[in-house]
Chains A and B, each alone.
Chain A
Amino acid sequence: MNNPTPAPPEPYAPEAAFEHTIARDQRIEPRDWMPDAYRATLVRQIAQHAHSEIIGMQPEGEWITRAPSLRRKAILFAKVQDEAGHGLYLYSAAETLGADRTELTERLIDGGQKYSSIFNYPTRTFADVGVIGWFVDGAAICNQVPLCRTSYGPYGRAMVRVCKEESFHQRQGYELLLTMMRGTDDQRAMVQEAVDRWWWPSLMMFGPPDDDSPNSARSMAWRIKRHSNDQLRQRFVDMTVPQTEKLGVTLPDPDLRWNEERGHHDFSAPDWDELKRVVSGDGPCNAERIARRRAAHEEGAWVRRAAAAHAAKRTARQREGAAA
């Protein structure tokens, strides 16, 4: 019997398939072929996003034990718990790209990977907790809502869950500030002072200006990012200004005003040198944040070893049981 000669395989062009998926605005999934640089960029971005959730637990966690009412304490607990959960989703998303959570954690504590610049600023009063909810979660939402449609499937799906929870926290932060503004003079002064300190660092959360953002163009071409840093920053300012008025506080920018022609607010640029310093490790709390993360990791090593040893013993016992 003659074996028919198998037909030659279809010429498979993974690069074309990848480009085609991106161009049709569809999702890349873990088993799909992807350019090495796309994979590396995503691992970097998702890991840094995860690290930000984890380091971001610290400035607010500072106030759990001092929260001035039981209701606020419960809200803070729930928020810090959600942040740990967001970190978990995001590390899982990074692992679909072949990264390893343990290694990523080590990269974080040895300074090899970054986290959001904002968490290097200290929380000095309880009003900071509200302002972090309002500004920092607000900025995170501006960044993350478009990421729900990012080209990498697991990242986009993680963002859908994260965004739902973040918007809840943002409203709670704002509501804390509203309550404080209806309170004593001291409380109102506390809110204004916190707004003054967090405004510029919050604008910096969107990253450097577009003409100084080396990774942006490629990330946008790959539809990892959907909008530029400056576009998102503008969106944040436009969203925040009316909330400021409703709250009864001012923003520390004398040049901030509505521009009828553009249909947007004009505002001053933050101090980009400060952003560079903070990102390169020289911010007010960088050393403390990393030291705290490192200490938790190192002091927890014996617990992780115990869990692994116990799991191994159980598996061995089950095997013996099965063999007997």
Chain B
Amino acid sequence: MTVTAGSAAALALGDDALVLSHRLGEWAGKAPVLEEEVALANIALDLLGQARVLLSMAGDEDELAYLREERAFRNLQLVEQPNGDFAHTIARQLYFSTYQRLLYAELAARDGEFAPLAAKAVKEVAYHQDHAEQWTLRLGDGTAESRQRMRRACEALWRYTGEMFQPVEGVDVNWSDLETSWLESVSAVLRRATLDVPEGPRSGAWTAGAGRQGLHTEPFGRMLAEMQHLHRSHPGASW
């Protein structure tokens, strides 16, 4: 498969949405309240819809989702992180949905090949971001226990947030402006939630830009094994 800059970009953005959607699917039947069953499935479904459009821009959606190995996935390491407790899931959502909202707002405003997708998706991700923000406030400014859990989650995932602003070839935005806006937006939410902005590095020497190059964290392989096993067990079958 020859990969043009455009389809490499579609893969990167599509893989983000595909992988995070899958992680949210692992919550089905396990959410803390029924309303969150609905909300998490709704967000996952939006992301899956985005993934399908983006992967189809790069090739056959099912071939790309089910028949690539770990090293060929281009998603951010942030989105493949395991769900952890509800606070971890919310921290991941806050970081990623803020990024996606800013990125898609930029892409929607330009003429590029991602503009039509971005114009639709930006409405969805505004809702995702609002959902994450509301829960960050509830958990951060809730009980002592929820505050501690939320603080830990925000700190644990902080080191995966730098990768979001490694330029993606074929995505024409100003990445450093995006990063500045992201930091402002996330910091404001954390402060309102009475949480400190984590102080640690936003990427380590080992992780910088890794997911986008196909270098993933250990839990990702297991996630893919589960996601792909049925499709791979029946080569050539259609579903």
Contact = CB atoms under 8 A, between A and B. Distances in A.
A161 interface: no
A74 B52 CA distance: 10
Interface stretch (B22-30, B100-108, B125-133): B22-30
DSSP class of A's interface residues: helix, strand, loop or mixed? Answer: helix
A247 interface: no
A68 interface: yes
Given A65-B22, A70-B61, A306 B139 contact: yes
B142 A306 contact: yes
A77 B20 CA distance: 14
- Looking at A176, A300, A303, the one whose CB has the most chain B CB atoms below 10 A away is A303
Contact of A310 (B37, B138, B234): B138
Interface in A280-324: 292-293, 295-296, 299-307, 309-311, 313
B175 interface: no
Interface in A224-280: none
A87 B49 CA distance: 25
Interface in A44-97: 54, 57-58, 61, 64-74, 77-78, 80-81, 84-85, 87-88, 91
Interface string A23-36: 00000000000000
A302 B65 contact: no
Given A65-B226, A69-B62, A77-B44, A303 B34 contact: no
Bin the interface of chain A by size.
35 or more
Contacts of B2: none
Interface residues of B, number: 48
A64 B31 contact: no
Nearest to A292: B29
Contacts of A167: none
Interface of A: 54, 57-58, 61, 64-74, 77-78, 80-81, 84-85, 87-88, 91, 126, 176, 179-180, 182-184, 186-187, 292-293, 295-296, 299-307, 309-311, 313
25 contacts: A65-B226, A66-B226, A67-B230, A68-B234, A69-B62, A70-B61, A72-B239, A73-B25, A77-B28, A77-B45, A78-B41, A81-B37, A85-B38, A88-B38, A179-B239, A184-B237, A186-B234, A300-B33, A303-B139, A303-B146, A304-B33, A307-B138, A309-B143, A309-B146, A310-B142
